[in-house]
Amino acid sequence: MEIIKRGNIPEKEYILVCRICGCVAKFVQSDIQRDRDGEYIVCPECKRFISTGSDYIRELKENK
């Protein structure tokens, strides 16, 4: 099979609310970091690791 034109799959956007400093940030799936303990996001303010499985991360749903 030959690709004539490459597609672009849009990334889902998520909202992070840091429980330590209260920072609210938007991120996409490519911002998620992984190691042997699991997946996490680093808070842009206080640099704490926040697990992607926590209640502090929600999918951003755009009102269209």
| Dist. CA 60–CA 64, nearest whole Å | 12
Q: Is the pLDDT of residue 57 over 90?
A: no
Give 23-51 pLDDT, tens digit per residue. Answer: 999 898 889 999 998 899 999 999 999 88
* Side-chain half-sphere CA neighbours of 39 within 13 A: 8
Classify strands 13-17 and 24-28 as parallel, antiparallel or unpaired.
antiparallel
Domain coordinates of the chain in residue numbers? 13-59
* Side-chain half-sphere CA neighbours of 22 within 13 A: 0
DSSP assignment letter at 9: P
Q: What pLDDT sits at residue 63?
A: 42
Tokens encoding 12: 């889902």
